[in-house]
Amino acid sequence: MVADGTSWSMWTLGEIYSRMTRGRGLRLFELFSSGRAAVAWVDMRSLNSMVTDSAAASSSWSSGSRVVNGALNVLPDGRSLRPICSLLGEAGWKRGLVTTTEITHATPAGFGVSCKSRGEAEKIARLYLEEGIEVLLGGGRKFFTREKRSDRRDLFAAFRKQGYAVATEAEEFSRLPLNRPWLGTFAESHLPYRLDWEHDAELRRTVPRLPEMTRAALRKLAREQRFLLQVEGGRVDHACHANDIAGAVHDLVEFDEAADVCLDYLKANPDTLIVITTDHGTANPGLNGMGAKYGDSNGLFEHVRRARCSFEGLSALWKKEGQTAAALARLLEERYGYKPSGKRLAQFLAYAEKSWKPLYAGMDGLPMQLGELLGNHWGVGWTSGAHTADYVPLVAAGAGAERFAGGMKNTDVFRRYMELAGIDFRNPEVPLLGECGPSAAEVEELAWA
């Protein structure tokens, strides 16, 4: 289970929000303190950078080898690595990928395929079909139906031809037969943010959510002797890129509901292993000390409860209304219960009109500036709109969990999976690019200089 782009600070805010709204925390923290789970601290760096992207992160778990950001299980010299779905598939395991992003997106694709670039969505879809992955549920419908000038592509037909049952909305999803492989895509691109979904009756009717997709995938895969299921809460990352704490906490709490589904399954099937983690931090939101003795922080964070749409939703509405100052002021009050001072609003609008730039280039973007404006209302500040180098928490429960404890490298996760599956296989690895400090050979040379 991967809550994509969830830094320690994001887990913390999810925990606080969950306690505030549900009277209980997240499963991740509950497992930490239960004494029944193993806890690790994982270095997720990629081959070329201390800051990983989701493609390199998923590849490291999937192949045991670090690759350059953007690549899916392919080394810089072009050699392909075998991903975990292929290795386990050969050993007779069934495989499932479930996500709130496009199904061809980096995290599921890292488990499913080898491909030079995460951007090649249609190729990734074809590789899923070639691999015959038994459960594929998420968004990304457009990659299966896209029409190109010269050739009409209907990947859905290709999947159907190979025996897949295909669903494109909730009603069809509920009728997927257990005895055939599944392809379900429930949005053109990513699934809507949970927060927007909650406030839109049409979306609620047509788009299934992560806990339901997880439950269905488990129901199907549990008929098999052995299976691997990856569940991704993929849009926590997107909300963090947008510096949108309301969007992020809702998707993280939903991810936690999917964790509930898996932990219930573990209770009934103790020979299962569950690993819950994230692939990297994104923009590291923090609830800041505000006011005298930091006494305002609690009340400010309470305001998040009043949010009625994501930043994505707000931006779309504002655009529709001609991006005027009056429309923005009204939308902020209507959707977030926030009435910024005229001065603050004017400063934001001046940025939107490109009349000033922030000192730190990492904050140069409309979402980041909207995040800063709302930071006065929610008490939450951000580092930028990008991923961060943070080590990440990993918690494992069930059969073999004790192998995932202490300090680990992302590539160790793959080795533990292979040991547990009884598969003796190693992909090739290459040395890190641009590691900090001089190499051993360079140190040797310096000593003689």
| Nearest one of 367, 330, 192, 345 to 322, comparing CA atoms | 330
Task: Identify the H or E element spanning 282.
Answer: strand 281-282
Give the shortest CB-284-to-Zn ion separation in angstroms. 12
Give the shortest CB-5-to-Zn ion separation in angstroms. 5
Whose Cβ is closer to Zn ion: residue 272's or residue 315's?
315
283, 415 Cβ separation under 8 angstroms = no
Whose Cβ is closer to Zn ion: residue 75's or residue 242's?
242
* Beta-sheet pairing, 94-102 with 227-233: parallel
Give the shortest CB-439-to-Zn ion separation in angstroms. 30
Give the C-alpha separation, 104 to 122, whole Å.
Answer: 8
Give the shortest CB-367-to-Zn ion separation in angstroms. 13
Give the C-alpha separation, 370 to 336, whole Å.
Answer: 12
Give the shortest CB-238-to-Zn ion separation in angstroms. 7
Give the shortest CB-13-to-Zn ion separation in angstroms. 17
Whose Cβ is closer to Zn ion: residue 5's or residue 83's?
5
- Angle (CA) 34 262 276, round 5°: 60
Give the shortest CB-54-to-Zn ion separation in angstroms. 6
Give the C-alpha separation, 86 to 292, whole Å.
Answer: 57
112, 95 Cβ separation under 8 angstroms = yes
Whose Cβ is closer to Zn ion: residue 89's or residue 140's?
140
Whose Cβ is closer to Zn ion: residue 236's or residue 275's?
236
165, 202 Cβ separation under 8 angstroms = no
Whose Cβ is closer to Zn ion: residue 99's or residue 272's?
99
Whose Cβ is closer to Zn ion: residue 237's or residue 244's?
237
Chain residues binding Zn ion by CB under 5 A are 5, 237
Which CA distances in Å does 299 have to 241, 260, 289? 25, 29, 11
Give the shortest CB-285-to-Zn ion separation in angstroms. 14
Give the shortest CB-240-to-Zn ion separation in angstroms. 8
Provide the greatest CA pair distance for the chain: 73
Give the DSSP per-residue string, 34-89: HSSSEEEEEE---SS-SS--HHHHHHHHHHSS---TT-BSB-TTSPBPPPHHHHHH
Structure tokens given for 280: 């990297």
Residue 342: strand, helix, or coil: helix
Buried residues in 221-244 as b, exposed as e (16+ CB within 10 A): beeeeebbbbbbbbbbbbbbbbbb
- Determine the residue with CB nearest Zn ion: 237
Whose Cβ is closer to Zn ion: residue 42's or residue 261's?
42
Whose Cβ is closer to Zn ion: residue 9's or residue 168's?
9
